[in-house]
Amino acid sequence: MAKKTDGTEDNTPEVVTEGSEITTGAGTETELQAAASVAFVTMVRNPDVHPAPHTAQVHPEEVHNYYSGGWTVKKDEAE
């Protein structure tokens, strides 16, 4: 179960009072800019073997997780 911002894990709604500061955990502006500038990898899989979708934009750190699903790096982007 996910923790609420106050650190509790119960099923009661979290009460946020007016004027209280809520943090999103998104990081600093520099971190946000770096995340926005990631070059995603285009991956494809055989439409004769696998159901849709057949193309995906994948974060570089997640490419290895897609191999088990029949995904391969698109030829014109392969190193």
- What is the pLDDT at residue 76? 81
| Domain count of the fold of the chain | 1
Model confidence at 70, in pLDDT bands (50, 70, 90)? Answer: very high
Model confidence at 45, in pLDDT bands (50, 70, 90)? Answer: very high
Q: For residue 65, report the phi and psi dihedrals to the nearest 5 degrees.
A: -75, -20
Taking CA atoms, 27 is separated from 21, 30, 37, in Å, by 15, 8, 15
52: in domain: yes
Q: CA nearest 4: which of 20, 23, 18? A: 23
50: in domain: yes
Question: Mean pLDDT, to the nearest integer, of 12-27?
Answer: 57
Q: Domain range spanning residue 63?
A: 38-77
6: in domain: no
68: in domain: yes
pTM comes to 0.52
33: in domain: no
